[in-house]
Amino acid sequence: MDRETGQLLSAEKFGTRVNWASHYDLDSGRPVLTPGADYPTEPFMVYPIGVGSHNWHPMSFSPKTGLVYIPGQHIGGELSTEANFKMEENVWNTGVETSLPLHNQQLNSTLGKAFVNGFLLAWNPLTQQKAWQVSRPYIGNGGVLSTAGQLVFQGTIDGFFTAYDAQSGTEMFRFEAGNGIVGSPISYAVNDTQFVSVPVARGGGISLISGSDLKPASANGRILAFSLNGAAALPSSKQVDVFDAKPPARLTADDAVLERGLQLYHRYCNRCHGSGVVSDGSIADLRYLNAAWHDNFEEVVLNGMMVAAGMPRFDQVLDSEGVFAIQAYVIDQAHQAYAMREGNSLWLAIKQTFYDLLAWCLLTLDELAQ
């Protein structure tokens, strides 16, 4: 926009795929919707889904290169109007159904990797074109800093702090931070030393809900600061040790109950504990609950045993049967995660080859359908 008059000057698509509108009408300042995108009667596969091609993570402009640096992401999802919508107090309820993950965790993770990813985009606002782009394997990466020294810094949700040449996009620096980064770097000088610092920790809506199979990491954050002649070693942080935990016995093998558990879980729990019961580690990953939590599952979920720690109670919308279904689904997912860690590796590899092929076919079909 023109900063003095507010007149709209440019509104080009910068996302990997944007299908809800064909373009912005520069005179009215309104998007021109694609027919069906409003999903009033039919479901619509919308790109990007609600979290957007760019969310809150700050972007940056460099007057030196004239480029804008955008922490972007690519994720679509099917939206439809919820049948028989009834307002429920205090829980997520928007009247919109979204597509759910499948029971099969290995397949979910494979499809997630194929269809959902992030990027760091250098965009030329004058030509309204991409200058360069770096791919990220996951969505929800950190904010961006561009410096007078012509570097662009960004942390990633999978635990790297990176820097690129602002003009060319060539990678100049990569540091393994030991935990995900969703915050933004800053730069400052003390005496004659220039520092770049960044908060290191997961958390925040996208990171919590995304269900990306990141390595479990400490819920505690820390701040790292870098300088050209810095020599400190990174102190180790407390890691969440989950991999010994053997899940309790399955509660049921009844598919109808597990399916109900999946639906209720994604209605009431996934925003904090992660889609497909895959958490980012900043709130408990329910696949790794120990026996004491499973014994008190209903107490926690219905009766508010953990309210003081930020875990809401759900007795206004759930009953014992619903909680049982959720717990059965959670334990089922825990078994799948356990099998993926400890199971027969040849069998897992065979399945993986098949799933990779399936993901490739679906991606190809999806591209052909464009």
| Positions that interact with ligand HEC (CB under 6 A) | 268-269, 271-273, 283-284, 286, 289, 293, 297, 300-301, 306, 309-312, 314, 326
d(CA 328, CA 330) in angstroms, rounded, equals 5
For residue 239, the tally of other CB atoms under 10 A from its CB is 13
d(CA 303, CA 314) in angstroms, rounded, equals 7
Shortest approach of ligand HEC to residue 156 CB, angstroms? 24
Shortest approach of ligand HEC to residue 329 CB, angstroms? 9
Shortest approach of ligand HEC to residue 76 CB, angstroms? 24
Shortest approach of ligand HEC to residue 48 CB, angstroms? 23
Q: Are 137 and 109 in contact (CB under 8 A)?
A: no
Shortest approach of ligand HEC to residue 183 CB, angstroms? 19
Nearer to ligand HEC among residue 253 and residue 309 (C-beta):
309
d(CA 328, CA 249) in angstroms, rounded, equals 10
Nearest one of 349, 332, 365, 351 to 107, comparing CA atoms? 351
Nearer to ligand HEC among residue 97 and residue 285 (C-beta):
285
Nearest one of 155, 162, 195 to 179, comparing CA atoms? 155
Shortest approach of ligand HEC to residue 268 CB, angstroms? 4
d(CA 324, CA 328) in angstroms, rounded, equals 6
Cross-strand bridge partners of residue 196: 187, 226
Nearer to ligand HEC among residue 74 and residue 266 (C-beta):
266
- Cα–Cα distance list, 10 to 55, 112, 209 (Å): 19, 32, 32
Nearer to ligand HEC among residue 45 and residue 317 (C-beta):
317
Nearer to ligand HEC among residue 69 and residue 324 (C-beta):
324
Nearer to ligand HEC among residue 124 and residue 296 (C-beta):
296
Which residues, 6 or more positions from 297, have their beta carbon under 8 angstroms from its beta carbon?
Answer: 289, 323, 327
Nearer to ligand HEC among residue 242 and residue 359 (C-beta):
242
Nearer to ligand HEC among residue 123 and residue 314 (C-beta):
314
Shortest approach of ligand HEC to residue 102 CB, angstroms? 19
Q: Are 104 and 148 in contact (CB under 8 A)?
A: no
Phi, psi of 45 (to 5 degrees): -85, 105
The radius of gyration of the chain's CA atoms, rounded to the nearest angstrom, is 22
Shortest approach of ligand HEC to residue 305 CB, angstroms? 8
**Burial (0-12, 13-18, 19+ Cβ within 10 Å), 89:** exposed
